[in-house]
A and B are shown apart, each in its own frame.
Chain A
Amino acid sequence: MPRLKLVSMTVALCLGVAAAITVTAARKPASPLAELPSGKVQLQSAGPLAFGPDGILFVGDSVGGAIVAIDTQDHTSASAKPVNVQGVDEKIAALVGVTPDQIVINDVKVNPISKNVYLSASRGRGPDAMPLIVRVDASGKITPLPLDNARHQSISLVDAPDSNPTARQNPRMQTITGMNYVDGNVIVAGLSNEEWASALRSIPYPFKEASQGATLQIWHSSHGRFETAAPVRTFVPYTISGQQYILAAYTCTPLVKIPVSDLKPGAKVKGVEIADLGMGNQPLDMVPYKKDGHDYILIANSSFGVLKLKADNLASYPAIDSPTITNVAGVPFDTLSDIKDVRMLAQFDDSNALIVTGKPGAGPAYAPGPPVGPINLQTIALP
């Protein structure tokens, strides 16, 4: 068990943060569903998912440059039942009439009310790929989320000029890498395919056209000698000592806590690195949970498998703020070697997580590419 001691002068940030963030004051909608008009959902792609209040599903549409909030009509509370769907890619392929290799599963989330599983996917691998959102119930039945006449609302993320106005399409694209609903705001992380500097946005929900607000910058308070502007790969909302944070994982694995209360227009926000998970790896998904009176964060990684971060007293860990030659540092964690081939991870309930597994693709170990089918969907007890 590689329990890792805290190193006071340890790893500098693999990727520092100078993420531009657009925020306005958070507010909790009185009745979000009441503000959703009905109509055809215009999705060009279906990427990261996040659940908001009352069964509202947020869908990140990187190609369309938008976030869409959809009323799933899935508001009936249900007790959690184990889910186990083997070959979910094959079943989705049969549903939409393609070979399984033409199905790319992009994200998975669980409706916290009904415990139904939602998957975003693509039918096809090229520019004509069609977006899909399917619902998987406890019996394993797979049904598409109706989009032809659904209550929904969308907001555009497009804020940059076209690279080439004469081109058929603007070649600049902001790929949405992570999204969460936090305290009345949808927080969105993204990666540009042109400039390096990242965009992390906090968008009040229900969406308003004039919600872009002021721009502020986030910097780590501790980052060693060198700093870069860098994108967030994945993040989760997390409460530490009663204060709301987001825990953000970067592309080469520093884990940083950023107080949500600091995300105010014009503010200079300081994030603190609390762990470095090592090089040659990429965090994929995180699930925070409590068990036996202790706090943990389950982290799925591209190369390091599934890690169980021991998150008690996160507030007390000093920041990691200088280079080191060690591979990992900060908050201690265990590697769960018995949970293999996890490509996606999501919260299921207080005691269980949902995992999407598949054999690694044909690429190198650190970046194997999309998993080779069959891809399986199942619940596991939180370790």
Chain B
Amino acid sequence: MRPDLRSDQSTCRRLRCLNQNQSKPSFIEKHLLKLRLAGVAVILFLGMAAAAQTISIQFEGGAFKVAGWRAPAAAPAQGWSSVFVVYAGAGDVPALLGSYAVEGGVLVFHPSYPIAPGVRYRAVFHLPGGGAPLEKTFDGPHRDTIPLARVEHVYPSTDVLPSNQLRLYIYFSAPMSRGEAAQHIHMLDENGKDLQGTHGVFLPGEELWDPNFQRLTMTFDPGRIKRGLTSNETIGPPIAEGKRYTLVIDRQWPDARGVPMVEGFRKVFRGGPALRTPPDPGQWRITAPQAGTSGALLVDFPTPMNYPLLQRMLQVSGGSGAVAGTVAVALHETEWRFTPRQPWKAGDYQLVVDTAIEDLAGNHVGQPFDVDVFAKVTEHITTKTVSLPFTIR
């Protein structure tokens, strides 16, 4: 993309201009004058061809150029930056990073990084032999201003969250700017009071994005969730059972281009009882489709599960190994649906469960989020997977 650079008023200058006063000559003088003028014209033509041209600084093809000045092939002793330099900031700032080249006799500066919106570039050319430097400023391309981003989903999708809810996953329709979550995510109580006060609701620190900056993981303050801790005992969990809350995401949150969202987002939910019992795959209900069909295998859970982990911590295995297919999550994360790529064949299968899979409260198979009594740690399930058999008929 070629940036739309906008120049201010031209600061280019004529190096020279001719202005002669002439009196009426005699015949000989006329001929002598003709000869002299012819000679002068030749000299001017040959000698001033370059010098009489306009030297200007131009931006073209992503590079800054000094037009109208024939650059020597070799750089001066102090380097090209002693002749031509570009700045991208005001005051005492270093010069813009880039490299120099002489291309067809023209000195060209190639910035190391793309030209950016909102930046005023100042290019300075120092005339060889001295004199006032030639300067020209360019403005970077216009910023986009059309809002594109919105919140598409927030998981858990249910409107009753356990009081020990551990994480929220916020899905945006477009890449967002990082470093904005702390000021643009709020949790309001029933009276509309913002609970993101002194103690906070969410864990401070690094924003946990996916690589595309379209999914943000927010963690409720685990110090307020874990029983027995100072935070838990003095100010209580972030979500109280029976209370009503509103999650608010400001429209002003800029996307990756710096443009606010199309609209803000609100999710009303109620605090439910804490989830203290680890997920038990033995209580999951598997509904197998019929052989020869491409119907979905259904796995239903007694309580909602962690949405992103459902995408990768359950696998279907058959006699010849893993079964290829697509995963869908439904019914507020209480149902996992697996549609095979090829129609089911009759036979025995297994649902392979990664024991690290979590419910909404961070409990995972064989281990609650906060373990009661250290001695029992050694009794935790140490296997990485458990398997649930089912048969396709």
Name A's B-contacting residues (CB within 8 A): 11-16, 18, 63, 87, 90-91, 93-100, 102, 104, 123-128, 130, 141-142, 144, 160-164, 166, 168-173, 175, 177, 191-197, 219, 223-230, 233, 251-252, 276, 278-280, 282, 302-303, 322-327, 361-370
Contacts and interface: CB of A to CB of B under 8 A. Distances in A.
Q: Which of B95, B183, B211, B358 has most chain A Cβ within 10 Å?
A: B211
A163 B222 contact: no
B205 A282 contact: yes
B88 A227 contact: no
Q: Which 3 A-B pairs have the closest CB atoms?
A: A126-B256, A363-B182, A94-B89
Q: Which of A63, A173, A177, A195 has the most CB of B within 10 A?
A: A195
A169 B211 contact: yes
A126 to B, nearest CB: 3
Contact of A97 (B115, B203, B374): B115
Contacts of A361: 179, 182-183
A377 to B, nearest CB: 14
Interface residues of B, number: 82
A229 B380 CA distance: 12
Given A97-B111, A191-B206, A228 B179 contact: no
Contact of B197 (A127, A163, A302, A364): A364
A195 B309 contact: yes
Contacts of B183: 361-363, 369
A305 to B, nearest CB: 15
A56 to B, nearest CB: 24
A125 B207 CA distance: 12
Given A168-B212, A197-B356, A227-B377, A91 B94 contact: yes
Contacts of A323: 228-230, 233
A15 B113 contact: no
A252 B179 contact: no
A194 B121 CA distance: 42
Contact of B312 (A172, A322, A327): A172
A193 B210 contact: yes
B94 A95 contact: yes
Contacts of B223: 14-15, 251-252, 279
A364 B377 contact: no
A99 B167 contact: no
A99 B210 CA distance: 25
Contacts of B93: 90-91, 93-95
Interface in B199-229: 199-200, 202-206, 208-213, 215, 217, 219, 221-223, 226-229
Contacts of B196: 363-364
Nearest to B176: A126
Interface in B169-212: 175-183, 196-200, 202-206, 208-212
B256 A125 contact: yes
Interface string B89-114: 10111111100000000000001111
Contacts of A326: 230
Contacts of B118: 98-99
A14 B211 contact: no
Interface of B: 87-89, 91-97, 111-116, 118-119, 121, 166-167, 175-183, 196-200, 202-206, 208-213, 215, 217, 219, 221-223, 226-231, 233-235, 255-257, 306, 308-309, 311-312, 326, 356, 358, 362, 364, 367, 369-374, 377
Given A102-B116, A251-B222, A280-B231, A226 B167 contact: no
A228 B220 CA distance: 14
B375 to A, nearest CB: 11
| Residue with the greatest number of chain A CB neighbours at <10 A, chosen from B112, B176, B204, B306 | B204
B88 A97 contact: yes
Given A90-B89, A97-B119, A175-B208, A324 B230 contact: yes
B182 A367 contact: yes
Contacts of B374: 219, 223, 227
A136 to B, nearest CB: 11
A95 B119 CA distance: 12
A244 B204 CA distance: 30
B371 A251 contact: no
B373 A164 contact: no
A126 B255 contact: yes
B210 A171 contact: yes
Given A91-B94, A125-B178, A175 B256 contact: no
Given A226-B372, A227-B370, A252-B203, A195 B231 contact: no
B217 A94 contact: no
A197 B233 CA distance: 24
Given A171-B308, A194-B309, A230-B222, 18 more contacts: A11-B230, A14-B222, A90-B89, A98-B118, A125-B177, A126-B256, A126-B257, A127-B175, A141-B94, A226-B226, A233-B205, A252-B221, A302-B204, A325-B230, A364-B198, A366-B198, A367-B202, A369-B183
